[in-house]
Amino acid sequence: MIQYLLRRLILLGGTILISSLIIFLICRLLPGDVARVLLGREAGEAALAALRAELGLDRPLPIQYLDWLIGFVSGDWGMAYSTRQPIRPMVLERLANSLLLAGATLTLSLPLGIALGVWAGWRAGKLDDTLISVSTLAVTGLPEFVTGLLLIDLFAFRLRWLPANSSIRPDTPFFEILPQLLLPAITATLVLLAYIARLTRAGVISELEQEYTRTALLKGLSPLTMLRRHVLRNALLPTITVVAISLGWLISGLIVVENVYNYPGIGRLLTFAIDRRDLLLLQAVAMVTVVIFAVANLLADLMYALLDPRIRLGSEER
Amino acid sequence: MTIPVLTVNNLTVAYRVGQQELAVVREVSLAVHEGEILGIVGESGSGKSTLGLAILQALPSTGRICAGQVFLDGVELTGLSGSARRALWANSLRLVPQNPLAALNPTMRIGEQLIEAIGGDRTTATAQAINVLKRVHIPDPARVMRSYPHELSGGMQQRVMIAMALHGTPRLLVLDEPTTSLDVTTEAAVIDLLAELIAEKQPATIFISHNLGLVARLATRTAVMYAGELVEVAPTAPLFDRPRHPYTQGLLQSLPRPGLRYDHHPLHPINGTIPAPGALPAGCVFAPRCSLADERCRRERPSLIAITEHHLTRCHYWQQVTQGVPLPSVAASSMSSNGNGQVLLTTHHLTKTIARRQSLFDKLRGQPAPVVKALAGVDLTVHRNRILGVVGESGSGKTTLARCLIGLSEPSSGTIKLLDIPLAPSIQRRSREELRRLQMVLQNPQEALNPALTVGEALLRPLIRLGRMNRREARQRIPELLRLVKLPPDYIDRRPAQLSGGEKQRVAIARALATMPDLLLLDEAVSALDVSVQAAVLNLLAEVKERTGVSYLFITHDLAVVSYLADEVVVMYRGQIVESGPVQAVLAPPLHPYTEALLTATSSRGVRLREVEEPDSLSESGCPFYRRCPRTPGDICATTPPPWRDAGNGHRIRCYIPLEELQIIQRSVLIEL
Amino acid sequence: MKLSRFVRAFFADLATATGTTIVILFLGLALFGPLIAPYSPTRQNADAIRLPPSTTHVLGTDRLGRDLFSRIIYGARDILLLAGGGTILAVLSGTLIGVSVTYLGGWLEELVFRIFDGLLALPALLLALLLLGTVGPSRSGVLLVIVVVYTPIVARVVRSVVLSLKPRGFIEAARMRGERLGYILWRELLPLVAPTLAVEAALRFSYAIFLVASLGFLGVGVQPPSPDWGLMVLEARNEFALAPWSLYAPAAAIALLVIGVNLMAEGVRRAIREDVTR
């Protein structure tokens, strides 16, 4: 197990390193001169050069990259050009908000999606399965800003149950945040829910076709015992992977949702940084997202390994 | 007469395929008594497994019993409620499936799965589980209880399945090809175990198999199934001695039996292929392939008639089915030596090591990566126009050997010489002429042809690439190639999906032969085929050799096939050759103890290997076989490689035991069989 | 049992048919847009600001007096061209890279797929935003984004198919007769990858629409005054009280197209799976 963990960690480190390089390169290929963006059109050549030197932009790219990477790893994320504030506290505060929203979304969509999927798979071919399958199919891939704005229209403007704007302040206590959290969470949940339900259903159906399910059947087990012990455990293995993959979806979704509801998360910060062409901020936000995504994937892999002895013992490789 | 435990009445089972239902088992009636073993033989597509599952009421969701009844001790099973059926499953109905690894839950420990099957109070169930594991001769039950399925060998997994099927007091046991996924020597031990437990527990048993030899050994009565119908049912001995249905007779005549030789006795395959469900002929289902069939057979479906009290057959003309199969005199099978003895290909000390995954710690500590020796110094000679048989079970390195020869994998050391010229190890480095001279037919016909290309295209390419022909010249050659492998000329435009397994393998052979290679490597090329089809392909290989003078390197685990087709044999065990020589000499005493075990595996009194889990990597020293050797090896076997001993006429055995001693013990064993 | 099977088959076919009809409808709008559209999509009309749907303006007008129906029609053109074109390019490049690099194997495969892993470690929309930040918001930028975001995904899918085909007998037979790389890749492998590709392309197309619309909404995609659907939603997001129809029209268009493509993609997947299993 420790072996496995170590191998995964090293692989993960490599992937994050490559991602960081990609992020850095994309950001540095930004057209236009950062110094000019910051100082405006009228700035003199001397002022521009001074700023470039101050920001370290006159050094060769590999040096800049290493410098930034080492800085990032050691916790020195620099100052944002646009707000003249240190980046780290800003990003971390927004990150906390985003994680809160993500947590709420997962709490809603995971149990519901898995339950729907198991139900549909168990009843495959019946009318209720057909309804679940077609409706989840229709909803997957519906952009969050469409569902989000329709939900705002309904719940905020027509029914007046929930606020349309979720620009929460950092010092608000949790139970006061809750109503503001609800609409964004529901919006992000819809798509994720459908996705998880579809894949869980596929997993359950393929488990039901396995030979060892027949073995269990022939032991005379009750349907519930069979479902619990033999079908679910194995069917949920692919679901874990699915959840890990759908975290990418969730992050993409949250970027949109936060912009729909003006929710002060990392997604808002990202669009803000792009708007202002704030290189360092952009890099930091992207890196944080990548690390979170990667760690979530690692956790999913570990969970998978814990549940599947074939992987845990590393014998089924290839 | 006692009341049978199991009675099946006019059972018809259908599968839903797309919008229609296809009957795959039709109007089957049978009865099995307590302690009786009814064998059901048939080729793939005969519906025998479906019949087994239908009897157990465990059909997949697409299958349905359309008509008929199944009675267990007088209780009708098809109409049972869910809970009553579950109770029967828990207590009386049991299945041993073909593939134990697929039938065991991969994420549950063996112990848990066994305890669940035994049911009841957990502590007593645990004690019982350990007992039943001991009962199936598992040496270390406590360890096996803690293991996950994939940590056990195939033979151990199947023992666990047998333990699961035979705890308590089963009434009905269905064995669905229980040894098909196992090696020959393991199969022998598992069949021994089944016979022992059935004798003890006395369930009514249905033994489903495609292997006529196994059925003959285990079953008291045998039913032959063809295209979903029972065509003949009789006590096993009379059925095999005097079959009364042309299909049964055809199956028996397809088998290469001891004493038959490819150059003197062509086999008698059954022409044609089994009809697909939904495309059945109007009259007798076997009529299109039957040599006795006439107008009446094509029009009127025969019923299952009793010719004696116990012998039933579904044939209008059963009296005309010739009695038995004449055995050839052994004297006729003199060694053909039409080859001029010229050496075609040699290998010198060929080795291939495969690196295992290494743990990170060991890597950091600079330990060398653990390796498995797939080949450990193989010396081999193939002569022109001769057939060299390579015999071995899984893990013997026989496939690795073929892949090294053809260049698909590169040997770690050693040389391969073709006509005394060294061959490059990698296929990319070999010249077109060298590629032309050496071709290979692979085991699985289903994967041999690209599903996207027509038969014509598949045959065209070697002619263009290696035969240096242009497209037009190549096209003209194709009808000739199809004729060579006995396929009709209009097959040129067919796609692989439209061919049967045997036809695919013929195309694969035609493709390999297209440019007249000197040596054709056949890696288990007939193993995946049904016996009647296998016979046709063996005949084809014999004929092609006669006509073209090609040599074969014929890899197989099946000694019967080797004794029929090979001129010379090498026996491999864990990457080494342990015995070699002319085929008659190798398959008669004195034998290497491993060859002896292989040769006697088909008999209930044969020699069995010791069951030990062998380590992955082979220690350099000692005999590769000593851990499992049935002939009580000495200490020296573990430490020093055994010498080659010469038994005369080019027959060599690698063993410490003196040849005279081997000869004496083995003579007595073989006489007893 | 039998009835529910019938109901299911019926719904499955109905769903596919509905989806296909929707997609064809939008394709028609995109192709014959100028012939159908009653007004120019960008012409502002101070006399017709925020008009609710009526006979003269079927879907109403927006805060600048532009005809929403005409804007939807021209927008269909944009989104289908961008999403469709991007998908085709991504599938082509993904296949090209996936098939050849995987067949060759070795360090090249390792390198390429490590880079792809690095790309895939960035959530799709994040990568898209980073790229658009670089090249600036534009149509070609959106196209580039789709290609860069989806090429690794397609390549990975293709890779898994090629890996399963590589050890097959017919590929080894081709090697045994010394076939050139090109023949093995394009004549032996590609036709077998094609069914998987068709399913993947249908799926990607649906996600591409999602991506294009989302980028428009975030204001980094197609720029005003283009009649981009996502952009239209963005412009109308504060019109809840004044002209809700200006929000409904583009939102409904996006939802309808996405659902149509999803239903059609599922039909494609099922048809191909049935074809393969036969």
Domain ranges of chain A: 2-73, 87-307
Residue A308: its chain B contacts at CB < 8 A? 106-107
* Identity of residue B142: A
Beta carbons of C233 and A149 less than 8 Å apart: yes
Residue of C172, C164, C165 lying closest to B523 (CA atoms):
C172
How far off is chain A from B55, nearest CA to CA, in Å?
A: 12
Query: Which of C4, C165, C176 is most worth mutating to test chain B (most B CB atoms within 10 A of its CB)?
Result: C176
Q: Please report all neighbours of C, defined by 3+ CB atom pairs within 8 A.
A: A, B
Residue of A294, A242, A287, A309 lying closest to A8 (CA atoms):
A294
Residue A294 main-chain phi, psi, to 5 deg: -65, -45
- The pLDDT of residue B325 is 52
Each residue's pLDDT tens digit, B591-605: 899 999 998 888 878
pLDDT at residue A317 tops 70 = no
- Quote the domain boundaries for residue B457: 343-557
Each residue's pLDDT tens digit, B384-413: 999 999 999 888 889 999 999 999 989 999
B651 in a structural domain:
yes
What residue in A sits closest to B170 (Cα-Cα)?
A: A219
Q: C148 touching A, CB under 8 A?
A: no
Rounded (10°) angle between helices B122-135 and B154-166: 120
Q: Are residues B527 and B662 in the same domain?
A: no
Each residue's pLDDT tens digit, B190-219: 999 999 999 999 999 999 999 998 999 999
Q: C169 touching B, CB under 8 A?
A: yes
Give the list of residues 6+ apart from residue B216 with CB closer than 8 angstroms, or none: B39, B222, B236, B240
Give the number of B-C residue pairs with CB atoms closer than 8 Å: 60
- The pLDDT of residue C82 is 92
What residue in B sits closest to A304 (Cα-Cα)?
A: B107
Residue of B428, B433, B443 lying closest to B516 (CA atoms):
B433
Q: In whole angstroms, give the CA distance from residue A29 to residue A146.
A: 32
Query: Which of B65, B450, B465, B499 is most worth mutating to test chain C (most C CB atoms within 10 A of its CB)?
Result: B450
CATH architecture assignment, domain C3-41+58-277:
Orthogonal Bundle (1.10)
Burial class (CB in 10 A: 0-12, 13-18, 19+), B477: middle
B371 in a structural domain:
yes
Beta carbons of C122 and A23 less than 8 Å apart: yes
Asked if B493 contacts B499 with a C-beta cutoff of 8 angstroms, the reply is no
Each residue's pLDDT tens digit, B111-156: 999 999 998 889 999 999 999 999 998 888 999 999 999 888 888 9
- The pLDDT of residue A59 is 80
pLDDT at residue A190 tops 80 = yes
Q: Are residues B437 and B505 in the same domain?
A: yes
Each residue's pLDDT tens digit, C100-144: 999 888 889 989 999 998 898 888 899 999 888 877 788 888 999
Q: In whole angstroms, give the CA distance from residue A122 to residue A137.
A: 18
Mean pLDDT for A204-209 is 87
- The pLDDT of residue B330 is 43
Q: Which of B439, B447, B515 sits opposite C170 (nearest CB)?
A: B447
Q: C249 touching A, CB under 8 A?
A: no
What sign does the CA torsion over A124, A130, A135, A137 have?
Answer: positive
* Identity of residue B436: R
* Backbone region of residue A300 per phi and psi (left: phi > 0; alpha: psi in -120 to 50; beta: other values): alpha
Query: Which of C110, C126, C157, C235 is most worth mutating to test chain A (most A CB atoms within 10 A of its CB)?
Result: C126
Chain B residues in contact with chain C using a Cβ-Cβ cutoff of 8 Å: 18, 406-408, 427, 430, 432, 435, 439-440, 442, 444, 447-453, 458, 461-462, 465-466, 497, 508, 511-512, 515
Stated pTM of the model = 0.84
Angle (CA) A225-B147-A114 rounded to 5° is 35
Q: Are residues B421 and B493 in the same domain?
A: yes
Residue A164: its chain C contacts at CB < 8 A? 240
Helix (H) or strand (E) holding B349: strand B343-355
Chain A residues in contact with chain B using a Cβ-Cβ cutoff of 8 Å: 3, 6-7, 10, 208-212, 214-223, 229-230, 233-234, 237, 307-310, 313-317
Q: In whole angstroms, give the CA distance from residue A144 to residue A126.
A: 30
Query: Which of C1, C111, C129 is most worth mutating to test chain A (most A CB atoms within 10 A of its CB)?
Result: C129
Beta carbons of C217 and A259 less than 8 Å apart: yes
- The pLDDT of residue B360 is 59
Beta carbons of C134 and A26 less than 8 Å apart: yes
pLDDT at residue A242 tops 80 = no
- The pLDDT of residue C195 is 85
How far off is chain A from B413, nearest CA to CA, in Å?
A: 25
Burial class (CB in 10 A: 0-12, 13-18, 19+), A175: exposed
How far off is chain A from B101, nearest CA to CA, in Å?
A: 9
- The pLDDT of residue B340 is 59
Residue B440: its chain C contacts at CB < 8 A? 172-173, 176
How far off is chain B from C271, nearest CA to CA, in Å?
A: 12
Beta carbons of A286 and C134 less than 8 Å apart: no
* Helix (H/G/I), strand (E/B), else coil: B318: helix
Q: In whole angstroms, give the CA distance from residue B650 to residue C19.
A: 74
DSSP class of residue C184 equals I
- The pLDDT of residue B364 is 65
How far off is chain A from C119, nearest CA to CA, in Å?
A: 6
Mean pLDDT for A67-92 is 87
Residue C184: its chain B contacts at CB < 8 A? none
- The pLDDT of residue B335 is 46
Report the complex ipTM: 0.84
- For the record, the structure tokens of B590 come out as 């004195």
Asked if A219 contacts B96 with a C-beta cutoff of 8 angstroms, the reply is no
Residue of A261, A252, A262 lying closest to A143 (CA atoms):
A252
Question: Which residues sit opposite B389 in a β-bridge?
Answer: B554, B569
Q: In whole angstroms, give the CA distance from residue B20 to residue B78.
A: 22
Residues 55-94 of C with CB under 8 A from A: none
Q: What is the mean pLDDT of chain C?
A: 85
Task: Identify the CATH assignment for A87-307 out of 1.10.3720.10, 2.130.10.10, 3.30.70.1140, 1.10.10.10.
Answer: 1.10.3720.10
Q: In whole angstroms, give the CA distance from residue A191 to residue A195.
A: 6
pLDDT at residue C189 tops 80 = yes
Q: In whole angstroms, give the CA distance from residue B168 to residue A219.
A: 12
Q: C2 touching B, CB under 8 A?
A: no
Of B177, B200, B219, which marks where a domain is finished? B219
What sign does the CA torsion over A145, A147, A150, A156 have?
Answer: negative
Q: B106 touching A, CB under 8 A?
A: yes
Of B508, B534, B557, which marks where a domain is finished? B557
- The pLDDT of residue B387 is 95
Give the number of A-B residue pairs with CB atoms closer than 8 Å: 85
Asked if B336 contacts B567 with a C-beta cutoff of 8 angstroms, the reply is yes
Number of separate domains in chain B: 3
How far off is chain C from A134, nearest CA to CA, in Å?
A: 8
- The pLDDT of residue A156 is 81
Q: B164 touching A, CB under 8 A?
A: yes
Residue A215: its chain B contacts at CB < 8 A? 95, 97, 103-105, 113, 164
Beta carbons of B90 and A220 less than 8 Å apart: yes
Query: Which of C170, C171, C270, C277 is most worth mutating to test chain B (most B CB atoms within 10 A of its CB)?
Result: C170
Beta carbons of C133 and A30 less than 8 Å apart: yes
pLDDT at residue C158 tops 80 = yes
Q: What is the CATH number of the domain that holds B361?
A: 3.40.50.300
Each residue's pLDDT tens digit, C215-261: 999 888 888 888 888 889 888 888 877 888 888 889 889 989 988 98
Give the list of residues 6+ apart from residue B240 with CB closer than 8 angstroms, or none: B212, B216, B222, B252
Residue C15: its chain A contacts at CB < 8 A? 134, 137
Q: Which of C169, C176, C274 sits opposite B406 (nearest CB)?
A: C176
Regions of chain B short of the pLDDT cut 50: 327-339
Q: How far is CA B295 from the centre of its chain?
A: 37
- For the record, the structure tokens of C53 come out as 């749907």
Beta carbons of C262 and A140 less than 8 Å apart: yes
Beta carbons of B430 and C176 less than 8 Å apart: no
Residue B505 main-chain phi, psi, to 5 deg: -65, -35
- The pLDDT of residue B369 is 67
Residue C267: its chain A contacts at CB < 8 A? none
Q: Please report all neighbours of A, defined by 3+ CB atom pairs within 8 A.
A: B, C
Q: Please report all neighbours of B, defined by 3+ CB atom pairs within 8 A.
A: A, C
- The pLDDT of residue B527 is 86
User: Domain limits of chain C?
Assistant: 3-41+58-277
B324 in a structural domain:
no
